[in-house]
Amino acid sequence: MYERDYILRLITQVGRMLQVMLKEIREHRPDDALETAREALAALMDTDTALIDSMTGTGLVTFLSVGGGIDVLRSRMLGEILVARAEAYDAAGRPGVAEHERDRATEVLRAAQPYSDGEENDRIEELLAGLD
């Protein structure tokens, strides 16, 4: 019960942060969006963002797979954050970093997709289609 409540709170918190990020991007405030992304990553991954930033897509998949199977929900949410972060980097005039974030998002989402179903699978497919 406690774990389920924690997950629901996490989904709500990170979802709100994603909405804020997208608004900041639309308002041409990429630096604010990147700061919000940092906060969302820290909340979602429960670790220092410097560590997350240093990981490749493969490293992120491994991090999300501690204990055996990949955490589909966190993987999808991480993919969403990385995609929004890529948009913010594009808006900030840093296309190389943006492409790196898209590559990491693609790797995380592709790793989670075979284990997803229902709405999670639909959203992962939608995100991947936008990355191709």
The ranges assigned to domains in the chain are 2-131
Find the mean pLDDT for residues 111-115. Answer: 96
Please state, rounded to an integer, the average pLDDT across all residues of the chain: 93
Higher-scoring residue by pLDDT: 27, 1: 27
pLDDT band for position 6 (cuts 50, 70, 90): confident
Residue 112 identity (one-letter amino acid): A
| Separation CA 40–CA 29 (nearest Å) | 17
Is residue 125 scored above 70 in pLDDT?
yes
The pair of three-digit structure tokens given for residue 49, joined into one six-digit string: 């963002």
DSSP letters for 58-124: HHHHHHHTTTSS--HHHHHHHHHHHHHHHHHHHHTT-HHHHHHHHHHHHHHHHHHGGG--HHHHHHH
- How do residues 28-55 score in pLDDT, each as one tens digit? 999 999 999 999 999 999 899 999 999 9
Find the mean pLDDT for residues 66-86. Answer: 93
- Reduce the secondary structure of 23-36 to three states and give it as a string: HHHHCCCHHHHHHH
Is residue 2 scored above 70 in pLDDT?
no
pLDDT at 3: 67
CB distance 127 to 83 below 8 Å: yes
| Separation CA 77–CA 45 (nearest Å) | 10
CB distance 98 to 52 below 8 Å: no
Find the mean pLDDT for residues 66-87. Answer: 93
pLDDT at 132: 82
Is residue 24 scored above 80 in pLDDT?
yes
